[in-house]
Structure 1
Amino acid sequence: MKPHDDIRPTAAHRWIEKAQRHYATAMLNHHHGGYRDTTCYFAHQTVEIGLKGFLVAKDIRFPRVHVLPQLLTLCVRADDDFRQFGDGCVALNRYYIEEKYPLDTPVDHTEQDVEEALKISGEILDFIKKKLSP
């Protein structure tokens, strides 16, 4: 047993762990030739769950939404450093509806879209983890 294995993780840590899993899933999917829409969806999920994890850590209530700019606004109120991710959250936000539900006109994302989604989600997740580290 490793040190601290007997300590239950906090609720915020569980959110961040889940965000890390979504990011790992996005990366694996991308590097193994998976569907681009699925990669973009998991990039969105990474940020959504990560932002919610930060809010949980700060004991800030949030609505049951999937809108990244709305969640980011709550994070900015707690820590203005989050403001730098406004454009990234807007860019990723489109991947929730587009990828979760079939649309009349399918969206075909480019490799550049996928790379950008992975870059943004990775940067935001790393930032959140640093903010929450002791």
Structure 2
Amino acid sequence: MRGRSSMNVRRFPPDDPQEWLSRARSNLRQARVEIEGVYLEDLCFDAQQAAEKAIKAVLIHRKVAFPYVHDLARLLTLVEQTGQAVPELIKQAARLSRYAVAARYPGVVEPVSQEDYREVVSIAEAVVRWAQQMVTPQSEKSGEADGES
């Protein structure tokens, strides 16, 4: 079973924004699945990773070198410096940065509530959709409305 889950995933070169979007969608799928015994903090980490990889896909698409950091505000600033407007909803992704490291360790942050978890996933979903719109050619967008393809 180990290799089965990735066998049907189309892979792209690491410098292709589609690879980063594909990985963002993978993290988002993981973040959406509430499994008994899995901490919400861990699911929020996956949501943060989805947003981070989606933003980095936009940066790659715009030919911008980026630091390997988890600071989403910093990454979004790089996007804005290219002349690309970043909607206010997408700027909320900066709040997800706290889930990149601290939330993965016991006692560093307060436990995540269901409400916080839902909000984090909602923001990540918006970022992935936005990044897809920024990166995907118009002719390919018709079947990818919710980021699931």
Same fold (TM over 0.5): yes
Q: Matched residue of 2:47: which SS?
A: helix
What corresponds to 1:41 in structure 2?
Answer: 45
> Shift in Å at residue 81 of structure 1?
2.7
The answer to whether 1:77 aligns with 2:81 is yes
What corresponds to 2:132 in structure 1?
Answer: 129
The answer to whether 1:112 aligns with 2:119 is no
What corresponds to 1:17 in structure 2?
Answer: 22
Q: Which has the higher helix share?
A: 1
What corresponds to 2:146 in structure 1?
Answer: none
Task: Return the TM-score normalized by structure 2.
Answer: 0.75
> Shift in Å at residue 58 of structure 1?
1.1
5+ residue gaps, structure 2, are: 1-10, 138-149
Q: Is residue 98–residue 107 contact of structure 1 (8 Å, CA) maintained in 2?
A: no
> Percent of pairs identical after alignment?
22
Q: Matched residue of 1:82: which SS?
A: coil
- Cα distance between partner residues in 2 of 1:22 and 1:65: 17
- Per-residue CA deviation, residues 7-29 of structure 1 (Å, 9 max, x unaligned), is x745111011000000001012x
- Cα distance between partner residues in 2 of 1:26 and 1:94: 15
1:116 partner amino acid: E
- Cα distance between partner residues in 2 of 1:77 and 1:61: 12
1:48-87 mapped onto 2 (5 Å cutoff):
48-84=52-88, 85-86=90-91
1:92-103 mapped onto 2 (5 Å cutoff):
92-100=96-104, 102-103=105-106
Cα RMSD of the aligned pairs, angstroms, is 2.0
- Deviation >6 Å, runs of 4+: none
How many residue pairs get matched?
A: 124
5+ residue gaps, structure 1, are: 1-7
Q: Is residue 41–residue 96 contact of structure 1 (8 Å, CA) maintained in 2?
A: yes
Task: Return the TM-score normalized by structure 1.
Answer: 0.82
